[in-house]
Amino acid sequence: MYIYAVANEQEVNEIVVGRPAGHQTPWTGRRSVHRLPNGAVGAFWRDQKPDGGPIRPLILVVPEEEHRRLFGRFAQLRGDLSPLSAWCHLLTPKQFGNLDETTRAAELNGYEAAWTGLVVAEASLVAQRPVSKLKLAACLATQTYAVARTNGLWGSLPLRDILERYDAAHQLFRVGEPSTVRVRASLEAVWDALSAASSADALGTNASLRAVVRALRTLRESRKEKDVDEAEALYGALNELSEADLLLRLTRISPEMRVKEFDKLVAVLEHEISHERSARWHSLVFLTAYLATVAAGGQPSLRLAEDVSARIPELAAWAYLIGGVGERVVWTSSFDGLGRLVARELTRPLHFDEAPTCDFGLEEALTLVDRQLSDSLVYLKIKQLRVVSVSLLPGVNISISYTEGMREAAPEPIESAPRLSNPPRLDRNVLSSLADALFPYFEARLDHTRNRYGGRKQQKSGTARRAPSLHPKLPIEGSEGD
């Protein structure tokens, strides 16, 4: 059984150290929650064990107007318990009032794989690296992850609100925009369309996106029904686009011809790239991206979209997304094994009877950051080396590169160090951190060196040094039989 208590300042002090206090009632869901009086905080815990041990507050329900006072008070007077959001969920009265259970499912309505693809696409676009070089933290740092996770746990909040929170979290660590913002303009329409497709009502969708929302839903239904000619079904959703005729003859076009059709569509997009983002533009990008997902004779050739991603980033984003539409099995090794990890985080239920997994919540951090101090983050007590996890909303935890942030926040450009006759010895930990931070940049060069090592001359004549074999010998990997 769970207890909900309305507590004043003094009673909150008791509750956070494990002593029940305040006006307590058994919690039976949203009907048992009452309006909080001014200055009061709600507290939620599992009922005391028979042994009389301390109760552990699971949720503090804090009205927005109480944030500054509550968080500041604990930071100043009970620093041992601050930040509160590191060990206890902080909810607004509205969020708590909507709870019926202590577990909140992350529901993306069958578009989990599509969102996963979009997260990976954004991480790849931002890092300008192939998927095989991406790490999970890069995916959990994306705007798409924040949007998808918020949609999954808390319904469709306005996109602007989510992005404001995302930016505010980055502002805690750095001056200037996070690197992910570079692709924001290209992805906003994609987020809008996918959010609309996965919600029950698409009427509120921007009119210029209605065709692609219809196309997404058609594609999903078609794949769900295992329609052998999904391209023809898709034509029904995109038939206002003259180029969509291609869909009607797609099954008869060989992969080599499909790549030529793809190039033609890209040429049209590049011609129209300076125009306003109209319904035609969005449909054309969708069509081109769809073609990339079936270019290899029904199988994806995402490299086609990646190759033009510097000019048309949304093309790669759509291609990664479309490949996942209709796919319900999200635990495969898609995206070089990254797909299942991202999907796992996107769909992870939020358990309020477990401690949060973030380092701290955004609302509390905004209160505790003190720009007047030399270490403005001192009250947040960051104990992670390079990446911190910040909760934008309960359960919506994004990764932020902390080292990078501090570097970007450096006020002055670094000048060449003067040569010293007796240079000081660097601390081993500093060197270790430096090596870790630099390694991703070396990694690509090391790969390049390895590739050069297996150059053509040696392969032809066989007299050069032998390259280390990075791949299995005969038969070919993935052989389908002889």
Partner 1 sequence: LSRWKSTLAGGALEFAAENRIPTYDALFVDEAQDLMPEEVALLKAWSPNLFFVGDDRQKIYSHSEGLNAVRTLSPVPIERFLPFHYRMAPEICEMADRIQVAEGGRALSATSHYKGPQPGRIRVHGPLTRHEQIERAGEALHDQLRVYAGLIEQGDRLAVVVPRQDDRDLVLDTLEENASLVGKSKIIRARSGEVEDREYDPSFNRDQPIAILTEQGSKGLEFRAVHWLFCDEAHWRKAETYYTVVTRAKTRLDIYHGSDLPGMLAKAYSPPAGDLW
Question: By the criterion CB under 8 A, which residues form the site for partner 1?
Answer: 251-256, 258-260, 295-304, 307, 451, 454-456, 458-467, 469-482
Q: For residues 179 and 458, which CB has a smaller minimum distance to partner 1 in the complex?
A: 458
Report d(CA 24, CA 461) in Å as an integer: 84
How near is the Cβ of 469 to partner 1 at its closest, in Å? 6
CB 60 within 8 A of CB 43: yes
Q: For residues 51 and 477, which CB has a smaller minimum distance to partner 1 in the complex?
A: 477
How near is the Cβ of 228 to partner 1 at its closest, in Å? 11
Q: For residues 1 and 228, which CB has a smaller minimum distance to partner 1 in the complex?
A: 228
C-alpha distance from residue 404 to each of 126, 131, 163 (Å)? 14, 21, 20
- E strands, 287-444, are 350-351, 360-361, 387-393, 396-401
3-state secondary structure of 357: coil
Work out whether strand 387-393 and strand 360-361 pair parallel, antiparallel, or are unpaired: parallel
CB 283 within 8 A of CB 242: no
CB 112 within 8 A of CB 326: no
- What are 206's two structure tokens? 């921007």
Report d(CA 126, CA 123) in Å as an integer: 5
How near is the Cβ of 463 to partner 1 at its closest, in Å? 5
Q: For residues 155 and 255, which CB has a smaller minimum distance to partner 1 in the complex?
A: 255
- E strands, 101-164, are 103-104
Report d(CA 123, CA 129) in Å as an integer: 8
Q: For residues 203 and 228, which CB has a smaller minimum distance to partner 1 in the complex?
A: 228
3-state secondary structure of 20: coil
How near is the Cβ of 444 to partner 1 at its closest, in Å? 14
Q: For residues 421 and 463, which CB has a smaller minimum distance to partner 1 in the complex?
A: 463
Q: For residues 259 and 268, which CB has a smaller minimum distance to partner 1 in the complex?
A: 259
Report d(CA 203, CA 214) in Å as an integer: 11
How near is the Cβ of 46 to partner 1 at its closest, in Å? 49
